[in-house]
Structure 1
Amino acid sequence: MGVFPWVAWFAFRRHTAYPLSGIAEALTNTAFGFIRAYILIALWHERPSLGGYDVTDAVTFAFLTQALVGPVQLWGGLELTERIRSGDVAIDLHRPADLQAWWLADDLARGLATLLLRGGPPLIAGVLVFQIRIPGPGTLAAFALAVMLGVLVGFGIRYAVALGTFWLHDDRGLQAISLILAMFFSGLLLPLVAFPGRLGTLAQALPWAALIQVPADVFLGKHTGAELVRALAFQALWAVVLLAAGRAMTLAARRRLVIDGG
């Protein structure tokens, strides 16, 4: 077995080492799911068909969003950032393994571990208290693919932010900007279908839409047939673009590390 499956396996073990912590985070996500559900119920009571959603779609979206917050890692960066700040990344760059692929394997395992520990409780609570849409097996399979692509896009964004530390020497500003953009344009605060006019069009074309809005729409059955293919292609395109940008930044960062005498 190659090095990257081992990286993923040990990362999965590390992120599942404290299940009680994961359950506590899941309960927090569930509590916020109820808060957001009641807010959206009030909003949809005034606008019953806002953005093509009905109130059941809106409530399902609220709990589904809370289930996806951990896997796509809307807030929080990569541990790579600290290694860049401390200089330990020099060791990583001298390993006979690709830096980007190493952290991608780590992040995919983190996403799976977080989904298993934190994804279920919000949805279960929503089903017990509200009327929640439950998709069929085919839609669930498409949803699983959309979530995986969302994790890839999320990694691409956070990897680029982490590598920015090579030039800025401090990631806090980039992290703050990334957090604000992710919360606003992913659909976390409000479904992007509720955004008006050109703002809505712009929001649904940006990469953050691939994190939550697209998987949620797939789960709700808003994308079928050719529309489903286009939605998944949208996610895949942004994943490729961001991973390619991360590859270019890695090469530039390696040269910069050598130039600076690292």
Structure 2
Amino acid sequence: MYLAVAVGGFRRYASYRVATAAGVFTNTVFGLILVYTYLALWEERPGLGGYDQAQAVTYVWLGQCLYATLAIQGGGAEKDLMERIGTGGIAVDLYRPVDLQLWWLAGDVGRAGFQLLGRGVVPFVFGSLLFPMALPAEAAAWAAFAVTLLLAAVVSFGIRYLAALSVFWLMDGRGIGQVLMITGVFFSGMVLPLNAFPDGLGDVVRVLPWAAQLQVPADVLMGEADVWGAFAFQAAWAVALLAAGRLLQSAATRRVVVQGG
């Protein structure tokens, strides 16, 4: 059943062809802007964050590839969930003979799969054709990277699911959506690799769950991280976030009130 839900999520987003094309164009343009900004920065600060220029360029294009895939600024399953909580449609979801959290997770994984293939791959390939990139030649490295992407998708969902459930109390998701956008961009390293953050702040951001979204997959892809340590870090946050979501869901669903009874 959950596989069918994931497939449905994939097919739903595949129907937005014009939006996907616009997203590919946008990510490519932003990728070019960031690449030239990074090249200038790394020219002044060689080895910033432990990266050379080729690694910095790789990081940029990977970020553009994963931006929509991981809904780093929000806009994934949590958006629909917030709306259903606000309108009371969540009551229908609770009546379904399925697990609420797994239902939404499956749909979001399907969405992420399409965004990766439909929107993320083209900018990444485009960048690799125009700029030198630090990409591995071994199949094992790519396989490890694929595992980190799956774990990153679960971590991303865990963060956004907790945010969505807050609407049970807030009654409106617009404010929490803005918080998701700001924290997602800053703490995931979309603007600057977390490795390049100053001491103190860098130590903090690298242990937060957002680091599992972009920084960890990037370091695994470029051979800058211990693979098993990266897996453990991501898996630990995935389990913690899903468990917290389960607890918050239990508390929230005790107070569901639907107009008309």
Decide: shared fold, TM above 0.5: yes
The answer for the alignment partner of 2:125 in structure 1 is 124
Count of aligned positions: 257
Task: Report the CA distance between 1:261 and its aligned residue.
Answer: 8.8
The answer for the alignment partner of 1:213 in structure 2 is 215
Given that 1:27 and 1:121 are in contact with CA atoms closer than 8 Å, whether structure 2 keeps it comes out as no
Gaps of 5+ in 2: none
The 3-state SS of whatever aligns with 2:74 is coil
Task: Report the CA distance between 1:20 and its aligned residue.
Answer: 3.8
Task: Report the CA distance between 1:260 and its aligned residue.
Answer: 9.6
Amino acid of the structure 1 residue aligned with 2:16: Y
Amino acid of the structure 1 residue aligned with 2:236: L
Given that 1:143 and 1:215 are in contact with CA atoms closer than 8 Å, whether structure 2 keeps it comes out as yes
- When residues 261 and 206 of structure 1 are mapped into structure 2, their CA distance, relative to the original with a 3 A threshold, is farther
1:247 aligns to 2:249 (yes or no): no
Gaps of 5+ in 1: none
1:51 aligns to 2:49 (yes or no): yes
Q: Distance in 2 between matches of 1:26 and 1:110?
A: 15
User: 4+ residue stretches of structure 1 with deviation over 3 A?
Assistant: 258-262
Q: Distance in 2 between matches of 1:163 and 1:24?
A: 30
Q: Deviations over 1:78-128 (max 9, x none)?
A: 211100010110111111111111100100000001101012111111112
Amino acid of the structure 2 residue aligned with 1:209: A
Percent identical pairs in the alignment equals 49
Given that 2:6 and 2:110 are in contact with CA atoms closer than 8 Å, whether structure 1 keeps it comes out as yes
Q: Distance in 2 between matches of 1:49 and 1:251?
A: 47
**Aligned 1:126-165 pairs, distance under 5 A:** 126-135=127-136, 136-165=138-167
Q: Distance in 2 between matches of 1:153 and 1:206?
A: 11
Q: Deviations over 1:44-77 (max 9, x none)?
A: 0011111110011101111111001111111224
Amino acid of the structure 2 residue aligned with 1:117: G
Farther-moved stretch of structure 1 (142-151 vs 121-130): 121-130
Q: Over aligned residue pairs, what C-alpha RMSD do you find?
A: 1.5
Given that 1:192 and 1:203 are in contact with CA atoms closer than 8 Å, whether structure 2 keeps it comes out as yes
Q: Distance in 2 between matches of 1:140 and 1:23?
A: 26
Task: Report the CA distance between 1:259 and its aligned residue.
Answer: 10
Given that 1:15 and 1:113 are in contact with CA atoms closer than 8 Å, whether structure 2 keeps it comes out as yes
Q: Distance in 2 between matches of 1:201 and 1:147?
A: 23
The answer for the alignment partner of 2:190 in structure 1 is 188
Q: Distance in 2 between matches of 1:134 and 1:194?
A: 20
The answer for the alignment partner of 2:70 in structure 1 is 72
The answer for the alignment partner of 1:93 in structure 2 is 94
Given that 1:19 and 1:117 are in contact with CA atoms closer than 8 Å, whether structure 2 keeps it comes out as no
Q: Distance in 1 between matches of 2:200 and 2:178?
A: 25
Q: Distance in 1 between matches of 2:28 and 2:250?
A: 41
Q: Distance in 2 between matches of 1:261 and 1:220?
A: 56
Q: Distance in 2 between matches of 1:26 and 1:94?
A: 38
Q: Deviations over 1:224-247 (max 9, x none)?
A: xxx211111101100000000111
Q: Distance in 2 between matches of 1:196 and 1:22?
A: 36
1:15 aligns to 2:13 (yes or no): yes
